[in-house]
Amino acid sequence: MKQSKKANVGHIGCALSVADIIAALYGSVLRIKNPEDEKRDRFILSKGHAALALYAALFLRRWLDEEEINSYCSDDTSLGVHPVHTLRGVDFSSGSLGHGLSFGAGCALAAKMKKQSYRTFVLISDAELNEGSVWEAVMFASHHKLSNLIVVVDLNGQQATGYTKEVLDLNPLNEKFKAFGWDTHIVNGHDVELIADTADNLDLKNGRPHVIIAKTVFGKGVSFMENKIKWHYWPMSDAEYKSALREIRQA
């Protein structure tokens, strides 16, 4: 919230939507002691416009320092609206929607070919599933039996121009992934322990890639932002910022 307001940049609703997912992954699931370790788990934020949530996690893991996090969206910074791979802890630049899962499938296939045990996690938005390239990657991962690939879908039900069910209805999403040979799970996307338990107990030898469909609330935790299209892009006024901070601190 602080960095979004200071930079006068939107996308705060998207970051709040995935904050609990990011917390679960970086708090306990991802096996990354050192982001330069070749054997580390990989994470790809395909919905790159939610990078503020990722930057917060990297800061709390001490892979970004205070000067870096405070440079968000300022001149000569590497911390833009979308993450870039020059940042410590960021494996792939992202933000061009529909590409992250293809990166992830390639990364998982590389691990399999090199007989390495690291897992690849990809966080995608439900609106990205409008992209045909995502479904090509879904088929590719199933064909190559990439059971070391875990996709988390941020199912918040909205995108830049409207509600997902009105733009392009995804239902039944769970059955779509099953039809392509994926192991599917549906969770509350704001239950950190449930997300972590689900990710930690996947069968990595069953020959099927995994998808965790996380039902989330866009703008979670700030009542005037929740499920409002406006907050995909809109920056906060001073009064809105103070009100949002009060709600989050009282939660």
CATH number at residue 91: 3.40.50.970
Give the pLDDT confidence score for residue 10 in this predicted structure: 85
Domain count, the chain: 1
Give the pLDDT confidence score for residue 99 in this predicted structure: 95
Give the pLDDT confidence score for residue 233 in this predicted structure: 87
CA 178 to chain centre: 21
Tell me the two tokens of residue 117. 């045990």
Cross-strand bridge partners of residue 123: 45, 152
Q: Which string of DSSP letters, residue by residue, matches 155-205? A: E-SEETTEEHHHHS---SHHHHHHHTT-EEEEEETT-HHHHHHHHHT--TT
Radius of gyration from C-alpha coordinates of the chain: 17
Report whether the peptide linkage leading into residue 172 is cis, meaning its omega lies within 30 degrees of zero: yes
SS3 121: strand
Q: Which domain holds residue 229?
A: 2-250
What's the pTM?
Answer: 0.96
Q: How far is CA 106 from CA 54, 78, 146, 149, in A?
A: 22, 25, 10, 10
Give the pLDDT confidence score for residue 144 in this predicted structure: 98
Which parts of the chain register pLDDT below 70?
none
Give the pLDDT confidence score for residue 95 in this predicted structure: 85
Q: Which residues does 5 contact at the CB level (< 8 Å), separation at least 6?
A: 235, 236, 241
